[in-house]
Amino acid sequence: MAFIAACVGASLLAWLSPFLYVQLVFDPQAFAAGEVWRPCTAAFVHASPAHLVLNCVAAWTLGRKLEPLLGSRRLLGLSLAGVLASSAAVAWLSTGATGFSGVLLAWVGACVPFGRQLGLDLGKTLLLNVVVSFLPGVSLAAHLGGFLAGVPLGTAHRESKWAPVMVVMVGVSAVALVLRVLITG
């Protein structure tokens, strides 16, 4: 998957250059100061090799099931919504984040309406993600934001109402980011 290649490439470059790493992670204050690329770049940069491997394995496992159901374009749209929603949640509730897990939780959320159709044990998947979300160094805010974007988009796909829900999810997330910038000045 292209997502995995992008994560590996961005993480390796960032680890080789600490300056680059600092420029790519999501920092709400830097975003508020005009560094608007950070929500997108932070999704691809990971804090450690273990963080990268865990997210890549999850992306491979879940992506192979979700992409045939949604199609490549909708998976990309879902991922964009996950990036924006997880970054908005981090901007409001946390001090920063790195990694693809906000997007992965959007993917998990999109799986909820399909249950067994995807051959996933969603109960175990959700329980595992709840436990992981409370571990030190893991962004509960990013996980929550991504998941909350994914569930309505999965439902919209099932109900054939993808476009209006996608516009609303991306719009709400973008507005939340802009409001955070305006409030923090």
The domain spanning residue 172 has which CATH number?
Answer: 1.20.1540.10
Global pTM reads: 0.89
Mean pLDDT of 37-49: 94
Name the domain count of the chain. Answer: 1
Write out the residue range of the structural domain in which residue 175 sits. 2-184
Q: What is the pLDDT of residues 118-155, one digit of tens each?
A: 888 888 888 988 898 888 888 999 999 999 999 998 88
CB 165, CB 109: distance < 8 Å: no
* Confidence tier at 185 by pLDDT (50, 70, 90): low
Q: What is the pLDDT of residues 66-105, one digit of tens each?
A: 999 899 999 999 999 999 999 999 989 988 999 999 999 9
Mean pLDDT of 5-14: 96
**Residues paired with residue 97 on neighbouring β-strands, in sequence order:** 26
Share of the chain above pLDDT 90, in %: 55
The Cα 26–Cα 98 span in angstroms is 6
E strands along 100-143, which residues?
none
CB 155, CB 106: distance < 8 Å: no
- Residues whose CB is less than 8 angstroms from the CB of residue 117 and which lie 6 or more positions away in sequence, other chains included: 69
